[in-house]
Amino acid sequence: MSISVCSLSGPGTSALHALGLAGDRSQCESLLQDLLSQPLKGGATYTEFLDASGQSIDDGLCLSWPDPPFQFVLTTHGSPLILEEVIHRCVELGAVHSADSDQIFRVPEEAVAEKVLGQALGRLTEVISPEACSFLLEQASPSGFAGVVEKWKRQAPSIDEVREVLDRGLLGRAVMKSSVVVLTGVTNAGKSTLLNVLVGEDRSIVTPEEGTTRDLVVASTQINGFPLTLVDGAGWRESPGLIEEQGLLRVKEAIRNADLVVELIPPARLEEMIVDDSQKEVSSIPESAFVFPEDVPVIRVLSRCDEFLSTPLPPNDDLAISAKTGEGLGLLEDQILQVLYGQSTVPEGGPYPFLDEHVIFLERLVSALDSGDNGQVCLQDYLEGVNRC
């Protein structure tokens, strides 16, 4: 087996340690089948590292590196004993322990633009998902944004090539910049319960009493690697109290500034549409309780669907969710990402601008190329921090 394993983070105790696998990729994958508790998933896998008896040594990330000689990078907690134990297990599975991490894991000289490389690696501590970590590592590599900028520095790009990368800016920045999603609906629609489930902790008060949420509750989470800011606030009803009215004003302001609104429609709203006991279903979702701004997209879903036992559902009941049982939540999460970004997975496989300044730089580069310039002055100015192009 031609696999090398080594430490990438040096000796001593730290917040995290990292080790790397280099060699034949299929052999690395075969080794990882015995080392990891979870099958490999895309660019990043959260997993436990197992010893020979199947017991957990530690938990961490297995990151797939897109460029040879890199294959996989594993992160562990910061004890050097844990690091040594994981390396020892890799050796048991057939790898050769190499002390020279610089030789195995080295980016070829001038393969990437140092400025972009530093931006990507420097933001690894800011992201909140393994998918985002994997994304940044790829953008720091020769096949990522750092690589394509260096390539353009050595050989002038075509305007179509730059525009193609520029078009990826929305997705790339979405991995780094949180979009704001406001949860709204009538009182007792299940907004607070949904927020707590999506965040994974109790941030909003949940009671059977209507109108318990008065002020805005703001919480950060991530879905499939994309960071999101969720906002929960007062629900709508015909005769709110004075404090609730102030809460509703804050909700309206939040909606005006939102990237997306999710309106929850509880069973009570459907029951209002039932004419008599013989009615088998309602023909459509009821009208919204609020007129939303035209420039803010809205997803309307039936909430608390675990309570629809005696309430007829409209034909499009695939929009029904239950924060209590989890039914439909995966579909809702996919819809949120599809509406915001047009896809529900973090991008991989190529260069993606991931900062606002990258997009501004690419727009200026397109203008330079469009005017007949080869763009080299614009490229050099950007890399040196000069604002002339």
What's the CATH code of the domain at 337? 3.40.50.300
Same domain, 211 and 319: yes
- Which residues does residue 17 pair with via DSSP β-bridges, in sequence order? 76
Say whether both 137 and 264 belong to one domain. Answer: no
Structure-token pair, residue 39: 């099958």
User: Of 306, 322, 341, which marks where a domain is finished?
Assistant: 341
In a domain, 46, yes or no: yes
Tell me, yes or no, whether 124 lies in a domain.
no
Distance between CA atoms of residues 132 and 146, nearest Å: 16
pLDDT at position 286: 62
Shared domain check, 187 and 231: yes
**Domain assignment present for 111:** no
Q: How many domains are contained in the chain?
A: 3
- Measured distance CA(257)–CA(292) in Å, rounded: 11
Q: Give backbone dihedrals phi and psi of 33, rounded to 5 degrees, phi first.
A: -60, -30
Residue 291, φ and ψ in degrees, nearest 5 = -90, 115
201 and 251 fall within a common domain: yes
Low-confidence ranges of the chain (pLDDT < 50): 103-105, 205-212, 275-276, 279-280
Say what the pTM is.
0.72
Q: Is residue 53 part of a domain?
A: yes
Nearest in space to 243 (alpha carbons), one of 253, 233, 228: 233
- pLDDT of res. 258: 96
Residue 151 lies in a domain: yes
- Token representation of residue 229: 């800011």
**Do 192 and 302 sit in the same domain of this protein?**
yes
- What are the structure tokens assigned to 333, written together? 């999460």
Give the structural domain span for 40. 3-106
| Structure tokens given for 290 | 């609020």
Query: What is d(CA 338, CA 333) in angstroms, rounded to the nearest whole number?
Result: 9
Q: Are residues 79 and 97 in the same domain?
A: yes
**Is 7 part of any domain?**
yes
Domain match, 325 and 356 both: no
Residues 69, 136, single domain; the answer is: no
Report pLDDT digits (tens) over 278-330: 544 555 566 676 788 999 999 999 888 877 655 555 555 557 888 888 888 99
pLDDT of residue 231: 95
Residues 240 and 315 in one domain: yes
Cβ(303)–Cβ(264) below 8 Å: yes
Is residue 183 domain-shared with residue 300, that is, in the same domain? yes
Q: Which residue has the tokens 């002339």?
A: 388
Same structural domain for residues 246 and 319?
yes
Helix%, strand%, coil% for the chain, nearest 5: 35, 20, 45
CA dist., res. 260 & res. 106, Å (int):
42
In a domain, 63, yes or no: yes
**Which letter does DSSP use for residue 80 in this model?**
H
pLDDT tens-digit readout, 39-50: 987 677 889 999
Q: Are 118 and 150 in contact (CB under 8 A)?
A: no
CA distance 217 to 45: 31
Domain shared by 53 and 78, yes or no: yes
